[in-house]
Amino acid sequence: MTESDAGVSPWPLLGPDEPPPVEVVNADGAGSAVLLCDHASHRVPQRLGTLGLDADRLADHIGWDPGAGDVARRLSVHLDAPLVLSGYSRLVIDCNRPLRSAESIAERSAGVPVPGNRGLTPAERAARIDALFRPYHDAIARLLDGRARRPTLLLSIHSFTPVLNGPPRPWHIGVSYGRDRRFAALLLGALARSGEFVVGDNQPYPIEDDIDYTIPVHGEGRGLPAAMIEIRQDGIRTAVDAAAWAARLAEAYRLIEAEALSLSGSSGS
Ligand SMILES: [Zn+2]
């Protein structure tokens, strides 16, 4: 199925009293950073119930990135940065997966079957795309269009579970990149400077066109320096811890900001 024959949604997925699919914070922020949070919420549209999962499961890491939104909001304040957050669970539709990906609307996530995602019709798929995926990415595109003449560095903020199908993951934080490592390399250096933290270089996840959507489309597609930040979830469980990581990220960003901005518009590949 291509993106253009995905079907026409017959009804709106979100009721009139439900939260919007996207939240834009500090849209007119004067800083050079634009922050994105693809997996900020584990909310599911009322119309879809709980996707056949326990509420506990939905609130677990398969449903969202715990703590990521909290860190992103605090970082937005530090850097006076606009921030765009997705309002619904990645299990309804994952805003960081290409629509062609089997993980866009995952029938299994980290080994857990998602009953509400099995056997969807093209119209049911289209309803999720129209109600959630498109508004989120349209909001990002509008924001970036509106500041096309201003130097911009793009950061998406995620969190990862400390253990996934294997031994504990050693990284406290990771910085991931696609074709152009230069902006990420600056951040990696700044975050590793204190020697306090294990910093993943393209770990725990690299950015790949078949798996990722946000950075390839909004960053690489526009020639903006862009990187994905992944913070280990046990390091941001409390507000105090989230605030500490936001402050560290802000400090690292400021250290490398001028040099990173000089990368804008120059090809690194
Ligand atoms: Zn994520």
Residue 256 reports pLDDT greater than 90:
yes
pLDDT at 265: 64
Provide the pLDDT for residue 7: 57
pLDDT at 3 over 50: no
Tokens found for residue 268:
């690194």
Q: Once rounded to an integer, what is the mean pLDDT over residues 169-198?
A: 95
pLDDT average, residue stretch 157-178:
92
State the pLDDT at residue 167.
Answer: 85
Q: Residue 49 Cα, ligand 1 centroid: separation in angstroms?
A: 22
* Stretch 57-80: mean pLDDT: 95
**Do the beta carbons of residue 38 and residue 96 sit within 8 Å?**
yes
Give me the phi and psi of 47, to 5 degrees please.
Answer: -60, -25
Q: Summarize the confidence of residues 86-100 as an average pLDDT.
A: 98
Q: Name the pLDDT band for 8 (thresholds 50, 70, 90).
A: low
Ligand 1 center from residue 65 Cα (angstroms): 5
Q: How far, in Å, is the centroid of ligand 1 from the Cα of 229? A: 9
User: Which pLDDT tens digit goes with each residue over 219-238?
Assistant: 999 999 999 999 999 999 99
If pLDDT is split at 50, 70 and 90, which confidence band does 164 have? confident
Q: What pTM was estimated for this model as a whole? A: 0.94
pLDDT class of 5 with cuts at 50, 70, 90: very low
- Do the Cβ atoms of 177 and 227 come closer than 8 Å? yes
Bridge partners of residue 226, in order along the sequence: 154
Alpha-carbon span 177 to 206, nearest angstrom: 6
Distance from Cα 206 to the centre of ligand 1, integer Å: 12
Q: How close is the Cα of 64 to the center of ligand 1, in Å?
A: 7
Ligand 1 ion local residues (Cβ < 5 A):
39, 65, 158
Q: Which of 201, 226, 200 is nearest to 213 (CA)?
A: 226
Cα–Cα dist 132/220, whole Å: 22
Cα 97 to averaged position of ligand 1 atoms, centre (Å): 10
**Which residues does residue 230 pair with via DSSP β-bridges, in sequence order?**
158, 174
Average model confidence (pLDDT) for the chain? 93
- What is the distance in A from the centroid of ligand 1 to the CA of 62? 9
Of 80, 77, 84, 48, give the one whose Cα is nearest residue 63. Answer: 48
pLDDT at residue number 201: 97
| Three-state DSSP string of 170-186 | CCCEEEECCCCCHHHHH
Q: Side chain identity at 63, as an amino acid letter?
A: G
For residues 163-187, average pLDDT: 93
> Which residue has better confidence, 10 or 51?
51
Helix (H, G, I), strand (E, B) or coil at 101: coil
Distance 39 CA to ligand 1 centre (A): 5
Q: State how far the Cα of 253 lies from the Cα of 72, in Å rounded to an integer.
A: 13
Ramachandran region of residue 80, left (φ > 0), alpha (ψ -120 to 50) or beta?
left
Alpha carbon of 103 to ligand 1 centroid (Å): 13
Tokens representing residue 155 in the block: 């950061």
What is the whole-number distance in angstroms between the Cα of residue 160 and the centre of ligand 1?
A: 7
